[in-house]
Amino acid sequence: MDSAKQSFDIVIVGAGLSGIGAAYYLKTHCPWLSYTILESREAIGGTWDLFKYPGIRSDSDMYTFGFSFHPWKNPQSIADGPSILAYINETADTFDLRKNIQFGVKATTASWLSDTNNWTLSVEKTKGDSSGMITCNFLFMCSGYYNYDHGYLPEFPGFHRFKGTVVHPQKWDSSLDYTGKEIVIIGSGATAVTLLPELAKKAAKVTMLQRSPTYVMNLPREDKLANMLKKVLPAKMAHGAARWKNIYMGLAFYKACRRWPDKLKAFLKKQVEKQLGDQYLEQNFDPNYNPWDQRLCFVPDNDLFRAIKKGNASIVTDAIATFTETGIALKSGQHLKADIIVTATGLQLQLFGGMQILVNGKPAEFKNSHAYKGVMLSGIPNFAIAIGYTNASWTLKAELNCRFVTRLLNHMKKHQYKACTPQYDPALGASEPLMDFNSGYIKRAEDFLPKQGAKAPWKVYQNYIRDIFSLKHPDVKDSYLHYQ
């Protein structure tokens, strides 16, 4: 790393989907500014470069999870991880963004000083012991919101008694041979639902052990209409048409779930029963919450149900009493024998990759800040985040945030402003949790996550159509945005 201090107009942290999208929008809409991307890993892709577990795939369709400006060409709509990683790399190379990425560089501290209207970032090489400083006027965090080093692992009774192999999907060992093995997957979310049918292809027996069920819903792996449109329309037009079709369908289904939860709950359970027939057990598919209180798990081409019907895969809904030397003893008295236990127990949330943020020498207290339109945080100057939806594709919201940031930066350049700070007005009403979601990884992080307000522009609506009018088109002059 060059020991000389580097200086840019804007620094993007993270070279995953959000970071590559941010770089594209900055290059396209703010060609006047200088930028760099800091990526602590040695490759592009973020999540899709990190996770290596068998069968890893998107849990959103790629016409909305992919970028609006770069068509998804693969016939798979629910795509596998390697295809998504290749797409992100292709996007970076198509728009010549890779040259702006500093790989293996981790930002540990970012300090804002109002006297200079600049951020100073302390950075270090992830391999070796070299370090350095980078200054910028604006900081754009595109590093997601979970800990890349550690997944979430509850304290299981007797955990260390187990003599077999224990692996967390986030730390999957690609050399692990599970052929002919008996496997227990602990979890009920998207990772567990993905792993069960994939592991069952080689394993002797796979059991998904869940404390409580999750709603699951079949989707075709390929979007027939989208693939038909690709044959008769230019790539970008076909991609856009498929994207908007899926946006509207997703919004309609989400609203139906919120308006008629009992009817949609019955519908989802009926669809599973139809697929499993006499192997359907209601307790395995009957969550104690309403649809979309937590994220739905999609099952591409019925792979989960086909694995169960084949006979060597099953779901057990029960609580763990203790780990044993040979498996897991359940509170019902049943014992699940295992050679391998996969702890698909979720993510550990972490803000901004663990970076310490200082404003005029004081640590930023994010738990007391409020999200302005889900893009900026109150009391923190020249600072933006790219965070996606909980009820739709991540990239839909991340792209809107990028569009807002470019308009803000162009507005600041036009009027020669050096800083913009959102200021929250407590008179607007009571604060609310940032994410209206009761998933475990969200609940575990509520004590340190920022808040949202009860009214716009401090309310995070989780609605793409509404956010288009809030983020893509309106003027960035606002009484809550303080320019100087």
Residue 389 has pLDDT above 90, yes or no: no
Residue pair 437/390 in contact by the 8 Å Cβ criterion: yes
295-332: per-residue pLDDT in tens? 889 999 999 999 999 999 999 999 999 999 999 999 99
Scanning the structure block, which residue is given the tokens 């950075």?
A: 123
Superfamily of domain 6-149+348-483: FAD/NAD(P)-binding domain (3.50.50.60)
For position 44, what pLDDT does the model report?
96
- Rounded to whole angstroms, how far apart are CA atoms 35 and 8? 5
Of 432, 459, 457, 461, give the one whose Cα is nearest residue 446: 432
Lowest-confidence pick of 156-160, 381-385, 459-463: 459-463
The tokens of 79 are what? 């795509």
User: Partners of 39 in the beta sheet?
Assistant: 103
Pick the CATH number of 159-228+261-343 from 2.40.37.10, 3.50.50.60, 3.30.1280.10, 3.40.50.450: 3.50.50.60
Within 378-460, residue ranges assigned H as helices are 394-414, 440-443
User: Cα 191 from chain centroid?
Assistant: 13
- Rounded to whole angstroms, how far apart are CA atoms 131 and 147? 22
Mean per-residue pLDDT, 139-145? 91
Of 400, 386, 403, give the one whose Cα is nearest residue 352: 386
Q: Do 6-149+348-483 and 159-228+261-343 have matching folds?
A: yes
Q: For the chain, what are the domain ranges? A: 6-149+348-483, 159-228+261-343
The tokens of 308 are what? 């169960």
Helix (H, G, I), strand (E, B) or coil at 123: strand
The β-bridge relationship of strands 340-343 and 182-186 is parallel
- Rounded to whole angstroms, how far apart are CA atoms 239 and 69? 9
- Rounded to whole angstroms, how far apart are CA atoms 460 and 426? 16
Higher pLDDT pick, 152 / 467: 467
Q: Please list, in sequence order, all residues whose beta carbon lies within 8 angstroms of the beta carbon of residue 318, skipping any fewer than 6 positions away.
A: 209, 211, 330, 331, 332, 334
- Rounded to whole angstroms, how far apart are CA atoms 173 and 66? 28
For position 443, what pLDDT does the model report?
66
Element containing residue 135 per DSSP (H, E): strand 131-141
Residues of the chain with pLDDT > 70, as a percent, come to 97
Of 124, 136, 107, 139, give the one whose Cα is nearest residue 1: 124
- Rounded to whole angstroms, how far apart are CA atoms 247 and 400? 14
Scanning the structure block, which residue is given the tokens 């009027």?
A: 415
Residue 112 has pLDDT above 90, yes or no: yes
pTM as predicted: 0.93
- Rounded to whole angstroms, how far apart are CA atoms 417 and 413? 6
The tokens of 166 are what? 């224990």
187-238: per-residue pLDDT in tens? 998 999 999 999 999 999 999 999 999 999 999 999 999 999 999 999 999 9
Residue 150 has pLDDT above 90, yes or no: no
Mean per-residue pLDDT, 163-175? 94
For position 447, what pLDDT does the model report?
72
Mean per-residue pLDDT, 70-86? 96
- The conformation of residue 18, written as its DSSP 8-state character, comes to H
For position 352, what pLDDT does the model report?
86
